[in-house]
Structure 1
Amino acid sequence: MKKLYITLSFVIASGILSAQNKDTKAADKLFDRYEYTEAAQEYLKLVDKGKADNYVYKQLADSYYNVFNTKEATKWFAKLVEEKQDAETYFQYAQMLKAEGNYTEANKQMKTFASMKPNDSRAKAFTDNQDYVSDINAQFKLFGATKSDISSDKADFGAFLTNDNTLYFASARNTSRKEYGLNEEPYLDLYKATYNSNKTISEATTVDNLNTKWHDGPATITSDGSTMYFASESFNESKGFEKDKEKQLKFGKIYLYKATKEGDSWSNKKALPFNNVAYSVRNPSISKDGKTLYFSSNMPGGLGGEDIWKVSVNGDSYGTPENLGSRVNTEGNDSFPFVTDDNILYFSSDSRVGLGGFDVFKVNLNDSSEPMNLGLPVNSEKDDFAFSFNTKNKVGFFSSNRDGVDNIYIADPICGVETTVTVKDAKTGKLLQGATVAMIDEKLELVGKSETSENGESIFKVNCDMEYAVQASRLGYENGVGTMEKSEGGKSTVVINLEPIKPIITETEVILQPIFFEFNKSNITAEGAAELDKLVEVMNEYPEMVIFAKSHTDSRGGDKYNMNLSDRRAKSTVQYIISKGISKERITGQGFGESEPKVDCKKCTEEEYAQNRRSEFLIVKK
């Protein structure tokens, strides 16, 4: 249903349907026929008459959920959860709230869901990262997105570009066709158009010989262009339905079919042998070598509502379908697989952490990496799905209902580069941890900022088609700059060597950069050691020099506490200098606590506190 489109089709038999009660009978009949919009109108009549209860609220919420009317769905879910519900109701409510952009309330519902089903993978993913929206929005954009001119005012989705530049897709634009009760649009047909070098698309025409009176599409085609796999309905087969005697309905499923190309036409249509009237198989994608067919299905053995599967192909022989497992699938709906020539699987999921509805993800099947959300602008608060990518033309297509109806969008890849910035001490070559690194683009805008790790590195993902200025700074060093040149993508490295700031030597003092200690501690930190090394250099340059180290605190804390702390720090400073080979007769130290403030203030600012919290190195003898 909700973006599952052609799931359960139906033929109405004569007779009377059973219902929840006599009041809901008419609405229940429409609901059972998947005519959710009309069913909702009937349930609303009961609300107006004061005959609604939680059953009616649930049916209303589900009706609007199934047609992705997020505004109305949230209204009735909110009414429904005034009383305790099953866990899945809270999850669905959260999905609708996200699609409305209300992430704060969605997170509240997800917390309830997670408390009820803590072992569910959807609950674990949410619990592990509740700031997922900020993370997704901040990630490097992999694609640009523009609405395709092939889109109509009806549902269009599942675009697939062949190597001969023919674009196939499913569409409900044929208004002469019978309307489908679920969304009150015509049944889907397979269409084709020509994709031009200037990224325009010719007028679409129907695909000869394959369309039926039922739903048809979407499709996938082998790399040599000779074989098509596509979805259609099981009503095409003589026994392609199940009877519900109580409701007196015939329920069909979605089957996969194979066709071969002869000249400019498709023929030899055959149903695949693993089709089954007990479940649907749809959304096919064939691998580059034509030996593996990926598809989505709610067949037994899956993890959730709909899972992604694969099956081996050898001519007209097929292996046993294999579930892709928990790396890809969840307890929710995972669908619309597409595998690229280099074995990257794109798929859509409504149950992984995302921006709302279905989001598009990708995972490299050549390694063990986890799926990645494609982020903006491919994904949005609404349903984003059916992503495909043509390696030859370097262009992708996806579908989205962000404008209120399913449209086809062109996804242009943005050339990305992973840049590792390494910051070193220019004199010693030492890798510098804690340096601040900033990336500035050609428009002089800040695109990233971070601190270097233990190995002196900061990593940025930026656009490879642009040149960037790289700035690095660290206490005790002159600022440094570098340049990241334009590239063809992949990975690049920028090394910035920072020149240490030399100590200032006066007649009475050696002035260093601030010597920092951890809170309530007196041990020498790595940053402090780097600065004290400069004092060692000065004392080696002046072998007769004698230093008296004074350590001061600010006025926060008790007098005695501050005096003892500063004295311990002074002694640690002295011991460090001696450990570097300086004679103990040449350096002494003492703590003065808060007794000698540099700035005499009663209500000090943070800056004034910092000035008072200092170390001084007085020259006793030069």
Structure 2
Amino acid sequence: MKNIYILAGTLLLSIGGLQAQNKDTKEADKLYDRLEYVDAAKAYTKLVEKNKADGYVYKQLADSYYNVFNTQQAVVWYAKAVESTQEAETHFRYAQMLKAEGDTKSAAQQMATFAKMQPIDARAKAFRNNPEYTNQLKSQAKQYEVLKSDVSSDKTDFGPVLTQNNEVFFTSARNTSRKENGMDDQPYLDLYKAIRNTDGTLSQATAVTELNTKWHDGPATITSDGTTMYYGSESFNESEYQKNKEKHLKFGQIYLYKATKIEGDKWGNSKALPFNSKDYSVRNPSISKDGKTLYFSSDMPGGFGGEDIWKVSVDGDTYGTPENAGANINTEGNESFPSIQDDGILFFSSNGKQGFGGYDVFKQNTNAKEQAATNLGAPVNTEKDDFSFSYNLEKNVGYFSSNREGNDDIYQAIAVCGVDATVVVKDAETGKLLSGASVTFVDQKGKNKGNQESNDNGEAKFGVACDEIASFNATRAGYQNGTASMPKSKNGAQSIVITLTPIQPIITETEVILQPIYFEYDQSNITAQGAEELDKLVKVMNQYPTMVIDAKSHTDSRGSDSYNLRLSDRRAKSTVQYIVSKGISKERITGSGMGETQPKVVCTACIEEQHAQNRRSEFLIIKK
């Protein structure tokens, strides 16, 4: 959601206790700078043994193990390093290694330190926003299955509502040809429409050009007969605003408008509603099934504080006096994005009621006015902002918006029976729990019902309808695909295990062929998945004790020649260091970066697939 955050105060950090390079560390530092992490670790260890170690040495020793993904040793030496003052990044790396070792409690403590030292870092923000659930929210049954909608863009998207004609109207800042607004440096908002297909996907969105203006437009609500729309736009359309002569500024408000279908899919006859005011905003409309009550949010006088939910009676073009929705809904905080369901359940978002964090979605039965609003729970609500929830009972599907991934995106919600399926992905040979596996839920008709990535415990969770036979497919780099099924079941929880068999290396006369070795963008340290694949090479070299390998790292053609050459050389040396750290003699493996000099696919205007083929590691057999 769009908010203005003001960070006040000063953070003072003393690093007087942090040691640095000196004559004793010169040799070890030279090895480290050359990316020879195994030998660097040995050199730093000698300083420890000679009682010449300080915080700098412990940190460098830990980083050496970090860069070759030796988590056990990294944890040992990071623990020593943080006994003295360290940079924030050291605490972050320590947390990563602790997490990899399964010590999530200690990892959280290190992340707390990191967050305190680097409060504006995105990783710190993500940690601080981890949910602190109350016991009630923890035990609340899942009400909806959630899936990110394919209509989302890399810009702000929110306010989705599904009509009886299978049209989804929403508001978006995706039109990059539009002028950027000063609040978030994104383009001004426009109204868009997508069509919901029979398989549940949404068509490519198109702008509602006949209603969009040069200002912010949307969100909207449509009457059940599909002929009338209420939507938001700015008071500047009516040349109404407040002036600040001293600052030479004009302040507008959000107004509500009514439009009608005029021909085909076109809208026209747009009129501003009579209770608009240049003194406050009225926005985020939702019309009842009978078309006689319009809900909206406003900061108009007479509320509980901040923005409140209001309603007004509608009779054609005649409107009653707006009424506040009351204390069961509104608080001293902000309540917004009302959506009235056909059965009288009102959904809205609030940051004033107790929830997971940020804005949460709540519901209240308007037919039982004294009934308190309740939190929709996870997975609709997260520690981030979750808002603009609407549900079409006839079609049994809803949509809402959330910035849980750092951007205001649109998500689909489907009510579930309460069967929670937990798919656990394991290595078929070692039994190791596999994170980062792509798990797909397929129903008994073969329809894709969702995809998730397994977490650090190898788990992916899905909501399955009662009495539904569910199949699950799992894929992961370096492994053969795996499947498993779950029989029909009622409310409760089910656990399904999928074992994945590692893909074995192919050994030719000239090369050991592995699955792709992935590195993070612009980085050369070995990742968890890269380590898994390189372990296969270690196994091969142990089987062939005289084998000598030359590891070559290649990049695609993007970036300068010199940059690509340096990056590939660092990655090749990290690869060599990892292999050596696993007990292979350094005389048996060499490495070099080739940059973009030896493309596998020669192309000028390369497509992404060709770039991917050129971005590779090769393990050439010098001696077998």
User: TM (normalized to structure 2)?
Assistant: 0.49
Q: Which has the larger radius of gyration?
A: 1
User: TM (normalized to structure 1)?
Assistant: 0.49
